[in-house]
A and B are shown apart, each in its own frame.
Chain A
Amino acid sequence: MKFVVFLFLILVAANVTADTTLRWWQFWTDPAIKPTIETIVDEFEQANPGINVELTDLTWANGHEKIVLSLASGTGPDVLELGSDWIAQFAANGHLADISSMIADDSSAFQGWSMADYDDKIYAFPWILGTRVLFANRELLTRAGYDPDFVPVTWDDLKQSAAAVSALGSGVYGWGSNAAEKHRLYKKFLPFFWSAQGQIFSDNGQHCVLASTYAIDALQTYKDLHDSSGYVANQRGIEDAFLEGKVGFVLSGDWLLKRIELEKHKIDLVSTLMPGPTFIGRSFMGGEFLAVTEASEQKEAAMKLIRFVTSPKNQVRFCKANRSANPSSIVAQTDEYFSSNIHLQTFIKQIPMSNHPPVDPDWVFIENIIEEAIEESLFESGGVAEPLRKARGKIAKLKSQ
């Protein structure tokens, strides 16, 4: 009997203290990083008695279905991790809380706000940024007759050295060329496009200018690489081949460093900035953001959690565990962890020289149109200008609706 009373008291006590439950949905579930997320949550709960965090994991392949279903049925979480490309679509439909007024003092301490800025309001907090840099296999380059110090700076350097690696034959290719996937190919093409000063919309945002001569140049270069030295596969297949020493160059993100370390690959790796037409070019930037849902009844507490997770200290912990290269916190970026590793340094240097796609609720459709144009030019014999012109027409039609 005493035991029952005791149990009852505990239950009552628990009810009194844990008066707020925050639900946080996030994607980082692999064994390398999940424990760190759990530790951060535990520390948050200790620092904020009365707030309980309920962590739910999403998978990378099917996470969005779950998010959309929960938002549609009004059972979404309080805090939601979102890729930068999805913010505008969710914000435009009224599912994300406008946090502009709650972040005033943070605005200069973090990078990446422009990706969460829709209609002059901020809808998400930058957490971990992501860019793409050029990785090369030095051993293959040396075998192809290049100096060990060589890194491509211009498109011509890249094309020539990739072709030289391909000329080695016996199942070795110069360049990893993406196919058979969504949301990936455009991230490979846009660095070329931006390096050539291409734009998707005119400066006033009124017109689609996807088929400019700059764009045609960029796509032609991308197609040349694909035609002369491309190993075609999805992102993972390309990286598998690169890590097995079958591909000379890949444009990839920091997860490649994680794979090399955790899977114990032996590869003589070079990382360098994205080449441009005449000098170093520009790369692609995206990132993982934390948003508060509009339906949340605990927006203040949710922001507290977001601030805690994105604090410089916790960003560094996250990056160390996940081998991520680009914390959004400027203080975190100065941590010794990043300066002590030459490959992470490449990523830190690439960030200011990178663009992100327009923050547009229709971006997922625009992205798809662009990818179809690239695929048409790579895998069918329609040249490069015509597919781009068709894509421009489709985007213009989409925007006029």
Chain B
Amino acid sequence: MVTNRIHLVLRYVGLSAVLAVMVFPILWMFRVSLMPAGAAVGFGDLFSTGVTLTNFIDLFRQASIGRFLFNSVLVAVVVTVANAFFCFMVAYALARYRGLAGRIMFVTVIVVLMIPAHILIVPLYVLMLKMGMYDTYWALMLPWLVNPIGIFLVKQYLESIPPDMEDAARIDGAGELTILFRIVMPLCKPALAVLAIQVFFTNWNLFLFPYILTSSESLRTLPVALAHFQGHQAIDWQHLMAGSAVAVIPVLIAFGFLQRHIVSGITAGAVKQ
């Protein structure tokens, strides 16, 4: 009993130490975003300097940050929802139908991942121009609707789930679509939650593609807008960190919302016990 308690304390001490290392730079970011402009950002200054919201107020007053937030949310939500469905469908096909076509498809998935995006962006730019999608919302969303990493993730996850339940349902005469969306998809919830988080934050932070594939101010997403907010040499830490904090908060909310599905999966297992 005593050793158990010592174990628990030790575990908390360990976890807290790791937690401190993991969150310190992010806390530093929030702290600096609340400092008056021009303040020093050394360790001592973190405690001695006052707290102000002016950086955030400046940000919302000087730029159409509402519009940029809207664009970011719109693009990230559409892309995330699309990925949850499409990646699941493709991954299921790849995991369960191991034909030649499936293998070829899986190779294309991996190949797209392995070629550096900085080379692909040049022809993609030309393609977008030719298709008339340059500088539209389509350019921000369509290429990302099916994320190769997502396909791979869900496929790997599906392979660790035995197909017994599907086979049983099939014997009972259930249709393929019913099996797919009613039986298999709920089983994949933890993986789909991870996928959604991954897709959401990748898209949320995407800079180069949206920057190159659009030019209008009204289509800017947050990362692109933040890059424009920087002057020739002149953006101070406080405003930069305030902008970054604005960009982090929605992802945090999305994470809090989605991580419950991973947690709920685990507790469901515990209840079974």
Residues of A within 8 A of B (CB): 27-33, 56-57, 59-62, 65-66, 69, 72-73, 75, 235-236, 239-240, 243-244, 253, 255-256, 258-259, 262-266
Contacts and interface: CB of A to CB of B under 8 A. Distances in A.
Interface stretch (B13-21, B143-151, B209-217): B209-217
A115 to B, nearest CB: 18
A59 B126 contact: no
Contacts of A56: 215-216
A30, A66, A253, A265: most-surrounded residue (chain B CB, <10 A): A30
A69 B230 contact: no
Interface stretch (B102-110, B234-242, B260-268): B234-242
B242 to A, nearest CB: 13
Interface in B25-65: 36-38, 40, 42, 58, 62-63
A301 to B, nearest CB: 20
B232 A73 contact: no
B41 to A, nearest CB: 8
Given A32-B234, A33-B231, A57-B217, 13 more contacts: A27-B232, A30-B228, A30-B235, A59-B227, A62-B212, A66-B212, A66-B215, A69-B125, A72-B122, A243-B38, A255-B234, A262-B37, A266-B38
Given A56-B215, A264-B38, A258 B125 contact: no
A253 B38 contact: no
Contacts, number: 81
B113 interface: no
B40 A244 contact: yes
A72 B40 CA distance: 44
A28 B231 CA distance: 7
Interface residues of B, number: 30
Determine chain A's interface SS by DSSP, over half rule: loop
A62 B208 contact: yes
Contacts of B129: 73, 75
B233 A255 contact: yes
Given A30-B235, A263-B37, A264-B37, A62 B211 contact: yes
Given A59-B227, A66-B211, A263-B38, A30 B234 contact: yes
Nearest to A65: B212
Nearest to B238: A263
B85 interface: no
B229 A30 contact: yes
B215 A255 contact: no
B212 A235 contact: no
B42, B227, B231: most-surrounded residue (chain A CB, <10 A): B231
B63 to A, nearest CB: 7
Contacts of B231: 29-30, 32-33, 60, 255, 258
A333 to B, nearest CB: 20
A398 B210 CA distance: 36
Contacts of A243: 38
B237 A259 contact: no
B37 A259 contact: no
Contacts of B37: 262-264
